[in-house]
């Protein structure tokens, strides 16, 4: 154990695909119906059973967010409150819908949106809040909903990290206004690329179904009965954002394994927590991994100036690490006078390191990673 010569590179993240997924894709290829049809419908039905309400699949998580915003009527002239510390997908989805992201601070404990800062940034133009479930945790989600209700805001949850997580004994996505998930290759479950929108709002569901198919009205029903629309009307801008049967076939098999996948990811995060919880020099997210299914495992260094060296040294001995994420208000496209002052986010960003988390990480890998992290910390 710990032998540099025999240890393989420990990747930060990776997909985990079994024969079930491979066989399912082969079946779709052999049927020679690759577009959106039976498998996509089956995947949507399975997701709807999982969440207890309807899910609509799209080509990726970013499209899920964009189409959800558009279906909610949010666009030009509207503002959306969102934390700056998120993948650029959240911000790009908002601008793609024509709206303006208002970059907010994060809570120090969970790195989810700081509701006080969001409240301070409320203007009459704000039409929605997009809580990002950073690392799988949802922060003060019920307080976010109270705030949204008081101010008549839509809530579009960026739940890309949180597939399988439980909040207040309910599945994330199973309650609330609109939740958007990603099934990209390294998310909690994958369909290769993919995403879905989950809501009870029939109006949103109907609109998203049209928007994903170039705005062709009711094309979804046609495709699910093996037909095409030859004569139709289009009344609005739509996008080419539907899911293919190949992707859905992978997603169906992944969803069948969700309990196993969740428990492995939770076990890894708990093991990291148990070793690193008492280590000085690092601070951990305050997530309860009996409920949160983590997409990433993040530590915050007390001494930000050590980050570069730590990451280099770990990389040298075959341990990949990451930084989730560069704050969006620092990016040229989103930087502006209103967005620029986010001291908490800037400070936390400088301390972040993500440690390897995927289904093939073994207990002794975690021990090795922690040992090495502690060693480099103390150098």
Ligand X SMILES: *Cc1c(COP(=O)(O)O)cnc(C)c1O
Shortest separation between residue 69's beta carbon and ligand X, angstroms = 13
**Shortest distance, CB of residue 221 to ligand X, whole angstroms?**
25
Min dist CB 180 to ligand X, Å, is 8
Cβ neighbours, 10 Å, residue 194: 29
Q: Nearer to ligand X by C-beta: 217 or 295? A: 295
* Residue of closest CB approach to ligand X: 61
* CB-nearer residue toward ligand X: 141 or 376: 141
Residue 161 near residue 134, CB atoms below 8 Å:
yes
Least distance from C-beta 129 to ligand X, angstroms?
15
Please say which residue, 252 or 373, places its beta carbon nearer to ligand X: 252
For 38, 233, 239, 305, 312, the CA distances from 230, given in Å and listed in that order, are 20, 10, 18, 62, 57
Give me the residue label for tokens 């770990």. 314
* Site residues (vs ligand X, CB under 6 A): 60-62, 86-87, 89-90, 132, 158, 160-161, 182, 184, 195
**Which residue lies nearer to ligand X by CB, 80 or 89?**
89
Element (H, E) at 351: helix 343-351
**Least distance in angstroms from the C-beta of 261 to ligand X:** 16
- Parallel, antiparallel, or unpaired: how do β-strands 79-83 and 126-130 relate? parallel
Min CB(132)–ligand X separation in Å = 5
Look at the chain and count its residues: 379
Place of tokens 């705030």: 147
Residues 6+ apart with CB under 8 A from 81: 102, 104, 113, 118, 121, 122, 126, 128, 129, 130, 153
Nearer to ligand X, 241 or 301 (CB): 241
Please state, in angstroms and rounded to a whole number, the distance separating the CA atoms of residues 108 and 160: 20
Could you tell me the smallest distance in angstroms from the CB atom of residue 59 to ligand X? 8
**What burial class does residue 218 get, using C-beta atoms within 10 Å of its C-beta: 0-12 exposed, 13-18 middle, 19+ buried?**
middle
Of the pair 62, 84, the CB lying nearest ligand X is at 62
Token pair of 23 as six digits: 């066989």
Q: State which residue, 63 or 377, has the beta carbon closest to ligand X.
A: 63
For ligand X, give the closer residue by CB, 136 or 368.
Answer: 136
- Minimum CB separation from ligand X for residue 215, in Å? 21
Q: Is the dihedral of CA 112, 116, 120, 124 positive or negative?
A: positive
- For ligand X, give the closer residue by CB, 148 or 196: 196
Residue 108: other Cβ atoms inside 10 A:
14
Cα distances (Å, whole numbers) of residue 343 to 121, 205, 275, 356: 15, 38, 30, 28
CA dihedral sign, ordered 315, 318, 319, 324: positive
Q: Any residues with CB less than 8 A from the CB of 319 and at least 6 apart, and which?
A: 10, 355, 356, 368, 369, 372
| Least spacing, CB of residue 124 vs ligand X, in Å | 27
* Residues 346, 133: Cα–Cα separation, whole Å: 19
């Amino acid at each position: 154990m710990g032998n540099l010569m025999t240890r393989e590179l420990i990747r930060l993240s990776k997909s985990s695909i079994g024969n079930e997924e491979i066989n399912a894709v082969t079946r779709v290829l052999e049927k020679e119906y690759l577009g959106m049809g039976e498998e996509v419908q089956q995947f949507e039905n399975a997701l709807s059973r999982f969440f207890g309400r309807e899910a609509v699949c799209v080509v990726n998580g970013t499209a899920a967010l964009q189409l959800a915003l558009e279906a909610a009527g949010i666009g030009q002239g509207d503002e959306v409150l969102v934390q700056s510390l998120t993948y650029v997908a959240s911000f790009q989805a908002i601008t793609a819908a024509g709206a303006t992201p208002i970059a907010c601070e994060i809570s120090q404990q969970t790195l989810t949106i700081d509701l006080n800062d969001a409240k301070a940034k409320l203007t009459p133009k704000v039409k929605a809040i997009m809580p990002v479930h950073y690392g799988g945790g949802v922060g003060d989600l019920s307080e976010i909903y109270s705030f949204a209700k008081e101010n008549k805001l839509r809530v579009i949850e960026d739940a890309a990290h949180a597939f399988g997580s439980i909040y207040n004994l309910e599945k994330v996505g199973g309650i609330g206004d609109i939740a958007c998930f990603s099934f990209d290759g390294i998310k909690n479950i994958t369909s290769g690329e993919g995403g879905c929108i989950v809501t009870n709002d029939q109006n949103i569901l109907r609109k998203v179904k049209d928007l994903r198919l170039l705005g062709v009205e009711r094309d979804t029903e046609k495709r699910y009965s093996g037909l095409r629309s030859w004569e139709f009307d289009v009344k609005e801008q739509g996008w080419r954002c539907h899911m293919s049967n190949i992707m859905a076939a992978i997603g169906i098999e992944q969803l069948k394994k969700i309990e196993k996948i969740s428990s492995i990811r939770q076990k890894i995060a708990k093991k990291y927590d148990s070793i690193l919880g008492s280590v000085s020099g690092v601070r951990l997210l305050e997530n309860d991994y009996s409920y949160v299914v983590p997409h990433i495992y993040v530590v915050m260094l007390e001494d930000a100036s050590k980050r570069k060296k730590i990451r280099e040294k770990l990389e040298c001995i075959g341990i990949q690490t990451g930084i989730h994420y560069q704050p969006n208000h620092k990016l040229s496209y989103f930087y502006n006078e209103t967005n620029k002052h986010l001291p908490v986010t800037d400070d936390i960003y400088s301390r972040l390191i993500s440690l390897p988390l995927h289904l093939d990480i073994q207990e002794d890998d975690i021990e090795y990673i922690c040992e090495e992290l502690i060693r480099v910390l103390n150098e």
